[in-house]
Amino acid sequence: MIEFFRKLFAPTNSSQTAKERLRLVLMTDHLSLAPDMIEQMKRDFIDVIAKYVEVDRDKIEINFEQQDKALAMLANVPILAVNRNGGGGDGGKKREEPATVEAAAATGSTGSTATPALPRRRRRKKSAPPAVAPSNASPAPAG
């Protein structure tokens, strides 16, 4: 009974929908408005991945698309080889000094030690809103 009345009187809260849609569309707008920032982020992202696995930099694709209620960053990173020293499940947690050097070494020894090019892996990462903070959001003026 109460449910019936709730349905009868419940206002369709379209302002909530408007808010959600705006939040998403503005994130997308800001991404396309800040190509420099995005390029830098992609480079940094690839560098981080490359610390642990050998990647095919030329074939990496990073895109943004809208998924339900969030903006998702979709990265398609072909992995050529897994770095034995830095790779693996807990590899990321090991803070070895010469991590980049290791990665470079692995590149050199692809033939013997590395597993053949793995099938492409799809990494999904929900972008936290602050990560794509609007580039044009002006800080409140001091005065």
Partner 1 sequence: MHEVQPEPVPVAEKAKRGRAIVITSGKGGVGKTTTTANLGHALAARGCSVALIDADVGLRNLDIVLGLESRVKHNLLDVLDGTVELDDAIVRDKHNASLVLLAAAQTREKDEVDTEKMKALVERMREHYDYVIIDCPAGIEGGFKNAVVGADEAIVVCTPEVSAVRDVDRVVGLLGNKFRPQLIVNRLRPALVKKGKMLSVEDVNAILRLPLLGVIADEPEIIVTTNRGEPIALRKDGATAAAYHAIAAKIAGEDVAAPTVEIKETGFFGRLGAMFGGAK
**Is the Cβ–Cβ distance between 86 and 52 less than 8 Å?**
yes
Q: What are phi and psi of 62, to 5 degrees?
A: -125, 120
Among 26, 37, 46, 60, binds partner 1 (CB under 8 A): 26
Residue 22: CA count within 13 A, CB half-sphere? 6
Q: Which stretch binds partner 1 (CB under 8 A): 26-34, 59-67, 74-82, 105-113?
A: 26-34
Closer residue to partner 1, CB minimum distance, 25 or 117: 25
Q: Which stretch binds partner 1 (CB under 8 A): 11-19, 63-71, 76-84, 99-107?
A: 11-19
Closer residue to partner 1, CB minimum distance, 104 or 133: 133
Euclidean distance between CA atoms 124 and 72, whole angstroms = 7
Least Cα distance to 35 among 135, 138, 128, 139 occurs for 135
Query: Contact positions toward partner 1, by CB under 8 A?
Result: 2, 5-6, 8-16, 18-19, 21-23, 25-26, 29-30, 33, 134-141, 143
